[in-house]
């Protein structure tokens, strides 16, 4: 069996939250690394991707590193392009190395291609370096829920197939990334992703807001997953607060996440996209509450690696 791990580099929603009250869970915005058979898949480029970049340099690009590679290939998937999911990209060190190949995938946002949206986020005067000035080879492609991305090692480019008409490769070593469109996040929804490798599967559902009775489409998509990573930004009290309700903001409560996990019969639930107002103590309490609703739950924290 090859390595199949999930590492959380950023678990905070909306914006970074450094400070003494966020040391345990961390203050960086969203970034998740999935290592499947040595292939490095990254989901979102919030502030957490900065530390991931340094780690990749140490692990693979320094002359003394035991796992040194001639070139580094990274598969970067965007759920959507809000700041807390893209703000770390200009500081992702491997993007400046000529020997890095970055395959980037994500949804069209409103009517714009992913490439245009990302390029607009990195343009003077907002940032001194433009995307094209970053030295890495970058291949940026839109994907939708009709597609699956097949990664079969670094020697072959990843393949985007239409899952309704194209056949998946039969090789068990291939990593298969699936996508599901979720409309419940302003203003243009998000893509929820699944990564399947050697018969195991992780589903990443961030920036989603639940429905009464559970998000049925997501429940189907996540069914039987080994790990479901789900937005749980709010407690029910914060979400439904009479004065400052958070309904319609595109994030879930702990209850919504636990309901999807239970109905989808996943093996494990990770809570993520913690509210920037939540101290470590508050995230601890959310975790305890979630465990009463779905026993095998943990609140994700920066630096945590889960083996599937
Ligand atoms: Zn977000
Ligand atoms: Zn968002």
The per-residue pLDDT for range 253-282, each reduced to its tens digit, is: 999 999 999 999 999 999 999 999 999 999
Confidence bin at 28 (pLDDT 50/70/90) = very high
Partnered with residue 161 across adjacent β-strands are 148
The whole model's pTM is what? 0.96
Query: Of 226, 222, 301, 212, which Cα lies nearest the Cα of 255?
Result: 212
| 171 CA → ligand 1 middle, Å | 35
Q: At residue 171, does pLDDT exceed 80? A: no
Instruction: Return the HEC string of the chain.
Output: CCCEEEEEEECECCCCCCCHHHCCCCCCECEEEEEECCEEEEECCCCHHHHHHHHHHHHHHCCCCCCCCCCEEEEEECCCCCHHHCCCHHHCHHHHCCCEEEEEEECCECCECHHHHHHHHCCCCCCCCCHHHCCCEEEEEECCCCEEEEECCCCCCCEEEECCCCCCCCCCCCEEEEEEEECCCCCCCEEEEEEEECCEEEEEECCCCCCCCCCHHHHHHCCCCCEEEEECCECHHHHCCCCCCCCCCCCCEHHHHHHHHHHCCCCCEEEECECCCCCHHHHHHHHHHHHHHCCCEEECCCCCEEEC
Q: If you measure from the C-alpha of residue 82 to the centroid of ligand 1, how many angstroms do you get, rounded to a whole number?
A: 6
Checking if the pLDDT of 170 tops 70, the result is: no
Q: Averaged over 178-203, what is the pLDDT?
A: 96
CATH says 4-307 is which class?
A: alpha beta
The Å distance, Cα 71 to ligand 2 centre, comes to: 32
Ligand 1 centroid – CA 65 distance (Å):
34
Domain boundaries, given as residue ranges, for the chain? 4-307
Nearest ligand for residue 206 CA: 1
Cα(77) to ligand 1 centroid in Å equals 14
Confidence of residue 73 (pLDDT cuts 50, 70, 90): very high
Residues around the ion ligand 1 (C-beta < 5 A) = 13, 84, 207
> Considering only 58-67, 103-112, 152-161, 292-301, which range has the smallest mean pLDDT?
58-67
Q: Report the separation in Å between the CA atom of 181 and the middle of ligand 2, taken as the mean of its atom positions.
A: 14
Q: How far does the centroid of ligand 1 lie from the alpha carbon of residue 14, in Å?
A: 5
> What's the pLDDT tens digit per position in 117-168?
988 888 878 888 888 889 999 999 999 999 999 999 877 899 999 988 888 7
The pLDDT of 162-189, averaged and rounded, is 89
């Amino acid at each position: 069996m090859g390595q199949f791990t999930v590492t959380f580099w950023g678990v905070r929603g909306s914006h970074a939250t450094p400070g003494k009250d966020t040391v345990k869970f961390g203050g960086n915005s969203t970034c998740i690394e999935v290592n499947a058979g040595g292939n490095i898949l990254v989901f979102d480029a919030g502030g957490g991707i900065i530390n991931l970049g340094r780690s990749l340099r140490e692990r693979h690009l320094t002359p003394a590193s035991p796992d040194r590679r001639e070139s580094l290939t990274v598969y970067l998937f965007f759920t959507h392009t809000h700041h807390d999911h893209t703000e770390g990209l200009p500081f992702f060190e491997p993007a400046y190395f000529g020997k890095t190949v970055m395959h980037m995938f994500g949804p069209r946002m409103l009517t714009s291609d992913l490439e245009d949206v990302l390029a607009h986020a990195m343009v003077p005067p907002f940032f001194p370096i433009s995307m094209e000035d970053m030295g890495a080879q970058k291949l940026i492609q839109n994907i939708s829920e009709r597609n699956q991305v097949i990664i079969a090692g670094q020697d072959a480019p990843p393949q985007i197939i239409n899952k309704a008409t194209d056949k998946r490769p039969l090789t068990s070593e291939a990593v298969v990334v699936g996508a599901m469109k979720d409309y419940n996040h302003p203003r243009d929804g998000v893509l929820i992703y699944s990564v399947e490798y050697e018969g195991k599967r992780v589903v990443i559902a961030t920036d989603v807001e639940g429905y009464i009775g559970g998000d049925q489409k997501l429940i189907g998509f996540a069914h039987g997953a080994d790990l479901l990573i789900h937005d749980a930004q709010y407690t029910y009290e914060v979400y439904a607060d009479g004065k400052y309700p958070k309904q319609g903001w595109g994030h879930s409560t702990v209850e919504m996440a636990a309901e999807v996990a239970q109905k989808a019969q996943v093996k494990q639930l990770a809570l993520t996209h913690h509210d920037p107002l939540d101290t470590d103590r508050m995230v601890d309490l959310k975790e305890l509450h979630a465990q009463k609703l779905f026993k095998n739950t943990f609140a994700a924290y920066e630096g945590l690696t889960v083996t599937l």
